[in-house]
């Protein structure tokens, strides 16, 4: 990343300033995109607009602005990364679009006009790769709002693909909310849906989200990502046809990718098991039920442990001795164990508790 400080007079900045409701805002003789796509959703307050012009009139310094150099062949060559509000405030004042203290720019005495036009703005011009740009975006506070990671990625990889992905995944009441609102956690507008689905899509290609977005940046639409999302939901609904709130926020993408080709999954049998497990008091993490049924990993269920009182009672009943090797140990060096494992129907009840020394407990764990 190369950062070059330059000085731009208001005279040059406001040259050719146009505010086109559709196409955006340009300045600096048409060579500066003031409102690049990722800036368009931010709305600025008018009262800060006046402060910008007052600061210039007093000859006080404005904060540094940041532009991105898009390269010598790009038109406009530069885009505003930070400083959109300041740019629009001063340019639209010079263009006579609003008055300050009852005076438009064209009403001002000549020397005051000159003072404004000659005012030097400090601009840091940044150029580099997309990922270097991303690092820069993380530091700069675009629009005075701290962007979250996905918003930053959307800014760096802006283009038709991101625009379409956002239209599908990030709109309140939009397509993803309608079909996936029960399945995804977070807020669409804060990009949680898009971040989740991009995470799934990138992971199935063994890529980082950043690389995945870089690969697709210039695709005309995000149809492929959308189709993948629909496939994930179709599969999830076919395999687990009864909806429960514990399904919300599970990693359905990776679950689909790992199991999509299986032919042994019987939705009726699975639903019967879901019912059992949901009712099982020893299963303390109910949201783990679905993944457990797919991969058999008991740790997902967080099987209830024996409480301290039960452990103490077993320890005393065993005469402080390990139930397997018979060695004598302190209570703190022993572990409570299900005599009949939970997976074979043993429950977390006092009768099913035995105390094992550390080694015996590890050995038993390894045998499972």
**Binding residues for Zn ion (CB under 5 A):** 322, 324-325, 357, 360
Q: In terms of CB distance, is 23 or 327 closer to Zn ion?
A: 327
Contact 256, 232 (CB under 8 A): yes
**What is the smallest separation between the CB atom of 346 and Zn ion, expressed in angstroms?**
19
**What is the smallest separation between the CB atom of 307 and Zn ion, expressed in angstroms?**
22
- DSSP 8-state assignment for residue 352: G
Structure tokens at 122: 């400090």
Q: How far is CA 337 from CA 258, 333, 342, in A?
A: 32, 13, 10
Q: Is 71 exposed, middle or buried (0-12, 13-18, 19+ CB in 10 A)?
A: exposed
Bridge partner list, 66: 82, 124
**What is the smallest separation between the CB atom of 332 and Zn ion, expressed in angstroms?**
15
Q: In terms of CB distance, is 272 or 325 closer to Zn ion?
A: 325
Structure tokens at 55: 């600061």
Residue 336: name the closest of 313, 319, 367, 366 by CA. 313
Residue given tokens 């405030």 in the structure block:
89
Q: In terms of CB distance, is 238 or 325 closer to Zn ion?
A: 325
**What is the smallest separation between the CB atom of 205 and Zn ion, expressed in angstroms?**
47
Most distant CA pair in the chain: distance in Å?
Answer: 100
How far apart CA 71 and CA 61 sit, in angstroms, is: 29
Contact 294, 258 (CB under 8 A): yes
Q: In terms of CB distance, is 81 or 355 closer to Zn ion?
A: 355
How far apart CA 136 and CA 81 sit, in angstroms, is: 9
**What is the smallest separation between the CB atom of 337 and Zn ion, expressed in angstroms?**
10
Q: What is the DSSP string of 248-271?
A: TT--HHHHHHHHTT-S---HHHHH
**What is the smallest separation between the CB atom of 354 and Zn ion, expressed in angstroms?**
10
Q: In terms of CB distance, is 201 or 360 closer to Zn ion?
A: 360
**What is the smallest separation between the CB atom of 317 and Zn ion, expressed in angstroms?**
16
Q: How far is CA 116 from CA 6, 36, 94, 333, in A?
A: 18, 26, 8, 78
**What is the smallest separation between the CB atom of 308 and Zn ion, expressed in angstroms?**
20
How would you classify the pairing of strands 65-69 and 32-33? Answer: unpaired
């Amino acid at each position: 990343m190369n950062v070059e400080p330059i000085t731009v007079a208001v005279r040059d900045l406001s040259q050719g300033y146009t505010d086109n409701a559709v196409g955006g805002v340009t300045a600096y003789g048409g060579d500066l995109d003031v409102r690049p796509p990722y800036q368009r959703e931010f709305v600025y307050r008018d009262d800060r607009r006046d402060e910008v012009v007052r600061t210039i009139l007093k000859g006080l310094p404005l904060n540094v602005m940041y532009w991105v150099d898009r390269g010598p062949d790009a038109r406009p060559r530069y885009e505003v990364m930070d400083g959109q509000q300041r740019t629009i405030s001063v340019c639209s004042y010079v263009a006579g679009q609003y008055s300050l203290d009852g005076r438009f720019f064209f009403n001002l005495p000549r020397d005051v006009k000159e003072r404004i036009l000659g005012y030097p703005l400090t601009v840091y011009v940044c150029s580099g790769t997309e990922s270097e740009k991303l690092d820069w975006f993380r530091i700069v506070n675009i629009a005075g709002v701290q962007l979250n990671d996905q918003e930053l990625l959307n800014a760096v990889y802006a283009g038709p693909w991101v625009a379409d992905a956002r239209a599908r995944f990030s709109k309140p009441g939009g397509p993803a909310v309608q079909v996936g609102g029960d399945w995804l956690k977070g807020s669409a507008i804060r990009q949680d849906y898009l971040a989740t689905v991009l995470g799934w899509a990138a992971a199935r290609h063994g890529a980082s989200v950043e690389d995945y977005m870089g690969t697709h940046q210039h695709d005309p639409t995000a149809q492929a990502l959308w189709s993948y999302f629909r496939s994930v939901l179709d599969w999830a609904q076919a395999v687990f046809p009864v909806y429960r709130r514990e399904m919300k926020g599970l990693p359905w993408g990776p679950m689909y990718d790992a199991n999509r080709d299986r032919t042994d999954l019987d939705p009726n049998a699975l639903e019967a098991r879901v019912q059992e497990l949901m009712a099982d008091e020893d299963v303390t993490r109910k949201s783990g039920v679905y993944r457990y049924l797919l991969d058999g990993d008991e740790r997902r269920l967080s099987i209830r442990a024996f409480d301290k009182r039960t452990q103490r009672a077993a320890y005393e009943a065993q005469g402080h001795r390990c139930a397997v090797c018979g060695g004598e140990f302190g209570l703190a060096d022993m572990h409570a164990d299900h005599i009949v494992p939970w997976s074979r129907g043993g429950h977390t009840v006092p009768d099913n508790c035995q105390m094992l020394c550390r080694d015996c407990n590890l050995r038993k764990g390894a045998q499972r």
